[in-house]
Amino acid sequence: MRVAQAGASRTGRCEPHGQINKRRTKNEQKTNKRRTKNEQKTNKERRKDEQKTNKRRTKDEQKTNNERRKDEQ
C-alpha cells in the first residue's frame, strides 16, 4: 500500500510545479482573507467602544452643565 506524500498526487505521479504553486497561492489568499476579516472585525469593535465612550462623555457633560445651572440659580 502506498502512502501519499506531500507534493505527490494520489495516482502516484508527481505534480508539476505549476499545480503546487497554484495551491500555495490559494492557501496564501485564504489566510490573507481571514486576516483582513479579523482586522475589520477589530476595527468595528473599536468603533463601537469609541461610540460608547462618546455617549458616556456627553451624558457626563450634560450632568455637569445641569449642576452648574442649578448652582447659578
Q: Is residue 17 part of a domain?
A: no
pLDDT attached to residue 36: 85
Q: Tell me the pTM.
A: 0.37
Cβ burial 11-44 (10 Å sphere, 16+ → b, else e): eeeeeeeeeeeeeeeeeeeeeeeeeeeeeeeeee
Band of the pLDDT at 1, cuts 50, 70, 90?
A: very low
Whether 66 maps to a domain, the answer reads yes
Residue 69 lies in a domain: yes
Task: Provide CB contacts within 8 A for 9, sequence distance 6+.
Answer: 15
Q: Domain for residue 6, yes or no?
A: no
9 occurs within a structural domain: no
Q: Which of 5-9, 34-38, 48-52 is the most confident on average?
A: 48-52
* Range of the structural domain that residue 53 is part of: 35-73
Domain count, the chain: 1
At 10-48, the pLDDT tens digits run: 555 566 666 777 777 888 888 888 888 888 888 888 888
